[in-house]
Amino acid sequence: MKFVIQRDRLLASIQDVMKAISSRTAIPILTGMKIEAKEDGITLTGSDSDISIESFIPKEEDGIVYVEQIEPGSIVLQAKYFPEIVRKVPMNAVEIESDGQLNVTIRSGSAEFKLNGQDADEYPQLPKLHSEDSFELPADLFKNVIKETVFAVSTQETRPLLTGVNVRVQDDQLHFVATDSHRLASRQIPISAAFDFQNVVIPGKSLTELNKILDENQDPVEIRITNNQILFRTKHLYFLSRLLEGNYPDTSRLIPNESKTVLQIDTKELLRSIDRASLLAKENRNNVVKLVTQESGKLEISSNSPEVGRVVEEMSVEEISGEELRISFSAKYMMDALKVIESEQVKIEFTGAMRPFLIRPTDDEDLLQLITPVRTY
Amino acid sequence: MKFVIQRDRLLASIQDVMKAISSRTAIPILTGMKIEAKEDGITLTGSDSDISIESFIPKEEDGIVYVEQIEPGSIVLQAKYFPEIVRKVPMNAVEIESDGQLNVTIRSGSAEFKLNGQDADEYPQLPKLHSEDSFELPADLFKNVIKETVFAVSTQETRPLLTGVNVRVQDDQLHFVATDSHRLASRQIPISAAFDFQNVVIPGKSLTELNKILDENQDPVEIRITNNQILFRTKHLYFLSRLLEGNYPDTSRLIPNESKTVLQIDTKELLRSIDRASLLAKENRNNVVKLVTQESGKLEISSNSPEVGRVVEEMSVEEISGEELRISFSAKYMMDALKVIESEQVKIEFTGAMRPFLIRPTDDEDLLQLITPVRTY
């Protein structure tokens, strides 16, 4: 195998593929990165067996030559050293060559690295997905949906299904739901094409890594699903993740359909106020803040840490209606929810101090955040 | 005590003073920050007993009012929460008030924090330095001297004196020397005023923290020394450090005064080449690279990690003279030394493979870096 490649293009692909490579893996060869040279370009592969990523660098694209002097072949290189080497080579052209004895030479300018490679035949074959169940989303929309939901997945392995984001089709809408059973994030987007599609649960970690790799543009991401795997494909990227098995709980019944107190308030101002109220309770795991409606029509946000002190703040609201309210909740959950809302104002619907409440952007009915309050009295 | 202060000015002072405050200290009140209000302004104090920092915020300066409504008094506040509170208050004006029961209230806009303070009378008095031994250095020059030397101090407590930078006067020059016994950094600067001055050793940590606080400008830093303490004073800052006790070793005899091989080479190119050569040996503590002069008049820089592979690179030099040379040394030491040299070219003087070698900027005879080679054959 041999080729000469543009450093920056190679480095970008390496960084994508590294997202799937872990130094802790039961299969030693997976600590390496597979490099495969074919006539039309170079493919890099990384995998931790949960996630597998392939990135393709075409020989030439849009009139720009990325790879030259290709002699087909493949090799696996230790991922621990390869990215740093490519980042630090002296010239923009990098030559990578392997001989029959798995010796790899990386040359750039007058610098030469000789590395021990591994046999690419020993690298696991990635499964090829044969599935007709596919649909497309623009990358920027998909990134947004991930951001709006994935933070709410559970980090505890006691209920493995909750560490994933549930995706299902209903009423010509694609529904994304994540919950750790204390809070829930839900986003729906309309779909135009009719297709037959299962209810699946995608590991939160896979979506987080995918979000780091996808560019913020409108290029389509093709999504293909089988029983136990999901593939995300863009022009030069192939991102495969296992799916979580089991029946995701029906979360629709958690969402109250009546409300007793309704607020409309500035999103950023509320976020900053909750942030301040939480300052003294940082080490407190629950980090509880209290919200109380005032006769003046304002809100009081407060928090009390007996050892340290007390914070209290009065906030103006845009609109308030319904019953008086005293409610306590996790500052972290509230901030997580508010941070992903871009709308200037949010509407918050409460159904008493003991029931979950809903946060929605005022300009977007398809995003919903739910938080279960904390009982303090 | 009461005053209203500009948030940004307060925050800048807090950040300086925090450099002296440690959450791990044998004296509990030192985890706090002392705040003292007088008619002319506010003084913040932090200390970990090795380093003490006072920062003064004048009531008014250059026509700008920083503090208003001052009612004199003092209090100690928990340093763990105070900086974050000030950073996140909603308005630029912050009111800080303490009552007779050590209750502190911080108000800004409609936000109010109530904190438990501690009695300022229990805070240790900082020693006042009565010393005639003082001199001044421009802040930017002093920062540079710190940067050029402090990285070479020892991090091991087995020889405590070597964890400091030695400062002494000789031949109308101020000498700064740091060594961990494997490498040495030395900078001298001419002094104009004649003064009586001891040979002192300043803890490296104190200089590192001071460097973070000093602004990059030509304002004078006044330096005052007693037997066991050193004071650095700028217009509004008072930085006190203990000195290390003992006789710093005479390092002048370590510096060879002859040389057998002399190189002149591009500083940044050499740095990058050593960096590349060290890539495969990262986990190797010694991280040794080899430098060999070539008949062609070039240099070969190489490194070998049996498990991983080998790097070799040929470098052009500006000038080379003297004997052939094969020498091995720590890549880290070489990079540390080269990083603080701003000159485009460096001169390296070797006296054989077993003797320490010298690195100097070509345009500055007053900075010297010495590295002891590693014996490999």
Q: Is A283 helix (H, G, I), strand (E, B) or coil?
A: coil
Position B39, amino acid: E
A358 touches chain B (CB under 8 A): no
Q: Is A147 helix (H, G, I), strand (E, B) or coil?
A: helix
Identify the closest residue of chain A to B86 by CA–CA distance: A276
Question: B261 forms bridges with which residues in the sheet?
Answer: B322, B350
pLDDT surpassing 90 at residue A51? yes
pLDDT surpassing 70 at residue B362? yes
Question: B60 forms bridges with which residues in the sheet?
Answer: B65
Please give the pLDDT value at position A315.
Answer: 95
Question: B368 forms bridges with which residues in the sheet?
Answer: B186
C-alpha triplet A283, A289, A292: angle, nearest 5°? 165
Mutate to test the interface with B, among A87, A102, A103, A112 (most CBs of B within 10 A): A112
Identify the closest residue of chain A to B84 by CA–CA distance: A279
Please give the pLDDT value at position B48.
Answer: 93
- pLDDT tier for residue B285 given thresholds of 50, 70 and 90: low
* Out of B81, B275, B309, closest to residue A279 by CB: B81
Q: Hunting for tokens 């700064």 — which residue is that?
A: B176
Number of domains in chain A: 3
Residues B275 and B357 in one domain: yes
* Out of B112, B272, B309, closest to residue A113 by CB: B309
Q: Do A111 and B276 touch (CB under 8 A)?
A: yes
Question: B51 forms bridges with which residues in the sheet?
Answer: B241
Rounded-to-integer distance, Cα B309 and Cα B332, Å: 19
- The answer to whether B136 and B197 are in contact (CB under 8 A) is no
Question: A223 forms bridges with which residues in the sheet?
Answer: A135, A232
Please compute the mean of the pLDDT values over residues B76-80 and round it to a whole number. Answer: 94
Rounded-to-integer distance, Cα A159 and Cα B116, Å: 42
Q: Interface pTM (ipTM) of the complex?
A: 0.88
- pLDDT tier for residue A49 given thresholds of 50, 70 and 90: confident
Interval A6-42: pLDDT, tens? 999 999 999 999 999 998 888 999 999 999 999 999 9
Q: Do A311 and B89 touch (CB under 8 A)?
A: no
Please give the pLDDT value at position B226.
Answer: 83
Which tokens hold the place of A174? 């694609």
- The answer to whether B303 and B278 are in contact (CB under 8 A) is yes
| DSSP symbols for A224-276 | EE-SSEEEEE-SSEEEEEEPPPS-----GGGS-S--SEEEEEEHHHHHHHHHH
Residues of A in contact with B272 (CB under 8 A): 88, 90
Residue B336 structural domain: 255-371
**Is there a domain that residue B19 lies in?**
yes
| DSSP symbols for A100-140 | TTSEEEEEETTEEEEEE-B-GGGSPPPPPP--S-EEEEEHH
Q: Do B114 and A84 touch (CB under 8 A)?
A: no
**Is there a domain that residue B245 lies in?**
yes
Helix H or strand E segment including B311: strand B309-315
Residues B110 and B7 in one domain: yes
Residues of A in contact with B86 (CB under 8 A): none
Residues A224 and A275 in one domain: no
Rounded-to-integer distance, Cα B368 and Cα B184, Å: 8
Residues B351 and B314 in one domain: yes
**Is there a domain that residue A129 lies in?**
no
**Is there a domain that residue B99 lies in?**
yes
**Is there a domain that residue A366 lies in?**
yes
Q: Do A114 and B311 touch (CB under 8 A)?
A: yes
Residues of A in contact with B104 (CB under 8 A): 309
More confident of the two residues B132 and A269: A269
Residues of A in contact with B310 (CB under 8 A): 113-114
Q: Do A110 and B314 touch (CB under 8 A)?
A: yes
Angle of helix A204-213 relative to helix A139-149, nearest 10 degrees, comes to 140
B75 touches chain A (CB under 8 A): no
Residue ending a domain, among A86, A101, A122, is A122
Helix H or strand E segment including B209: helix B204-213
What does each C-alpha distance from B197 to A231, B170, B189 come to in angstroms? 73, 10, 15
CA distance B15 to chain A (A): 17
- The answer to whether A319 and A264 are in contact (CB under 8 A) is yes
Please compute the mean of the pLDDT values over residues A289-314 and round it to a whole number. Answer: 92
Please give the pLDDT value at position B217.
Answer: 93
Please compute the mean of the pLDDT values over residues B186-198 and round it to a whole number. Answer: 79
Angle of helix A331-339 relative to helix A267-278, nearest 10 degrees, comes to 150
Question: B327 forms bridges with which residues in the sheet?
Answer: B291
Residues B161 and B94 in one domain: no
| DSSP symbols for A311-374 | EEEEE--SEEEES--EEEEEHHHHHHHHHT--SSEEEEEE-STTS-EEEEETT-TTEEEEE--B
Residues of A in contact with B308 (CB under 8 A): 78, 81, 115-116
What does each C-alpha distance from A111 to A68, A101, A171, A179, B156 come to in angstroms? 19, 21, 60, 51, 35
Q: Quote the radius of gyration of chain B (alpha carbons, Å).
A: 25
pLDDT surpassing 60 at residue B377? no
CB pairs under 8 A between A and B: 92
pLDDT surpassing 90 at residue B32? yes
Residues B74 and B142 in one domain: no
- The answer to whether B371 and B328 are in contact (CB under 8 A) is no
Rounded-to-integer distance, Cα B327 and Cα B331, Å: 12
Please give the pLDDT value at position A24.
Answer: 87
**Is there a domain that residue A376 lies in?**
no
Residue ending a domain, among A91, A122, A153, is A122
Biggest alpha carbon distance in chain B?
82
Please give the pLDDT value at position A329.
Answer: 95
Residues A106 and A176 in one domain: no
Bin A275: left if φ > 0, else alpha if -120 < ψ < 50, else beta.
alpha
Which of B122-136, B164-178, B295-309 has the weakest average pLDDT?
Answer: B122-136
Residues B321 and B345 in one domain: yes
Which tokens hold the place of A16? 């994508």
- The 10 Å CB-count burial string (b at 16+, else e) for B69-79 is ebeebbbbbbb
CA distance A218 to chain B (A): 36
B335 touches chain A (CB under 8 A): no
B296 touches chain A (CB under 8 A): no
- The answer to whether A346 and A361 are in contact (CB under 8 A) is yes
More confident of the two residues B55 and B171: B55
Please compute the mean of the pLDDT values over residues B5-25 and round it to a whole number. Answer: 95
C-alpha triplet B317, B334, B304: angle, nearest 5°? 85
- A233-252 residues touching B, CB cutoff 8 A: none
Which of A96-110, A213-227, B68-82, B140-154 has the weakest average pLDDT?
Answer: A213-227
B375 touches chain A (CB under 8 A): no
Q: Do B81 and A312 touch (CB under 8 A)?
A: no
Q: Is A208 helix (H, G, I), strand (E, B) or coil?
A: helix
Which of A6-15, A225-234, A354-363, B34-43 has the weakest average pLDDT?
Answer: A225-234
What CATH number does the domain containing A279 carry? Answer: 3.70.10.10
A106 touches chain B (CB under 8 A): no
- The answer to whether A337 and A185 are in contact (CB under 8 A) is yes
Position B319, amino acid: E
Q: Chain-wide mean pLDDT for chain B?
A: 93
Percentage of chain A exceeding pLDDT 90: 83
Which tokens hold the place of B260? 């057998």
Identify the closest residue of chain A to B83 by CA–CA distance: A279
Identify the closest residue of chain A to B310 by CA–CA distance: A114
Identify the closest residue of chain B to A108 by CA–CA distance: B313
pLDDT surpassing 70 at residue B74? yes
**Is there a domain that residue B132 lies in?**
no
Identify the closest residue of chain B to A303 by CA–CA distance: B113
Rounded-to-integer distance, Cα B49 and Cα B53, Å: 10
Q: Do B90 and A310 touch (CB under 8 A)?
A: no
What are B225-230's contacts with CB under 8 Å, separation 24+? B225/B131, B225/B133, B225/B134, B225/B197, B225/B198, B225/B200, B226/B129, B226/B130, B226/B131, B226/B133, B227/B198, B229/B127, B229/B129, B230/B200, B230/B202, B230/B206
Please give the pLDDT value at position A377.
Answer: 55
- pLDDT tier for residue B308 given thresholds of 50, 70 and 90: confident
Residue ending a domain, among B95, B122, B149, is B122
Please give the pLDDT value at position A109.
Answer: 95
Q: What's the half-sphere exposure (Cβ side, CA atoms, 13 Å) at A291?
A: 29
pLDDT surpassing 60 at residue B95? yes
Rounded-to-integer distance, Cα A21 and Cα A29, Å: 10
CA distance B308 to chain A (A): 6
Residues B80 and B148 in one domain: no
Please give the pLDDT value at position A318.
Answer: 94
A65 touches chain B (CB under 8 A): no
What CATH number does the domain containing A48 carry? Answer: 3.10.150.10
More confident of the two residues A82 and A283: A82
Please give the pLDDT value at position A286.
Answer: 63
B110 touches chain A (CB under 8 A): yes
Residues A244 and A266 in one domain: no
Interval B100-149: pLDDT, tens? 899 999 999 999 999 999 999 999 988 777 767 788 899 999 999 999 99
Q: Chain-wide mean pLDDT for chain A?
A: 93
* Out of A85, A276, A279, closest to residue B279 by CB: A85
Residues of B in contact with A309 (CB under 8 A): 81, 104, 113-116
B312 touches chain A (CB under 8 A): yes
**Is there a domain that residue A128 lies in?**
no
Interval A115-170: pLDDT, tens? 999 999 999 988 777 767 788 899 999 999 999 999 999 999 899 999 999 999 88
Q: Do A88 and B275 touch (CB under 8 A)?
A: yes
* A332: nearest Cα among A372, A377, A376: A372
- The answer to whether A242 and A160 are in contact (CB under 8 A) is no
Q: Do A115 and B308 touch (CB under 8 A)?
A: yes
Which are the contacts of A144, defined by CB distance < 8 A and separation ≥ 6? none
Please give the pLDDT value at position B284.
Answer: 64
Residues B197 and B267 in one domain: no
Residues B216 and B155 in one domain: yes
* Out of A90, A112, A116, closest to residue B312 by CB: A112
